[in-house]
Amino acid sequence: MKSRSFKCCLSNHRKAFYRSANAVFGKVGRVASEEVTLQLINRKCIPSLLYGLEACPLVKSELCSLDFVVNRFFMKMFRTSNMDVISQCQSYFDFKLPSTLWFNRVKKFDVKYATCGGSFVDYGTSVK
């Protein structure tokens, strides 16, 4: 199988997010405040969405699909489909979209990889 570029399948990441977000929302539902629910989502669900993606080169459409998952959760939580309202809620609660978080994680990953000098890659090629 040939390809011009490396692609990552994001369906498992999206499924993991939805599974954990629905579990959190099912447990706390409308009982907890929005701040508490969003902190739980940020700490428990977003990591499952972004797990290991800092090593993958994502294109804009893939980043938009990650953002869409979070936007849909906000629509469910705040019972609206108006994207202006969703954007205002995200800025009010200082909730970063996955595309922004991914970009920050990639920068951190690149710095760590550069400081190791690629020794892991060298090690992997020398052991045969």
pLDDT tens-digit readout, 66-114: 999 999 999 999 999 999 999 999 999 999 999 999 999 999 988 888 8
CA distance 110 to 97: 20
Contact call for residues 24 and 45 (beta carbons, < 8 A)? yes
Write down how long the chain is. 128
* Cβ density class 42-56: b for 16+ within 10 Å, e for less: beebbebbbeebbee
Query: Mean pLDDT of all residues in the chain?
Result: 88
Q: Nearest Cα to 76, choosing from 92, 63, 89?
A: 89
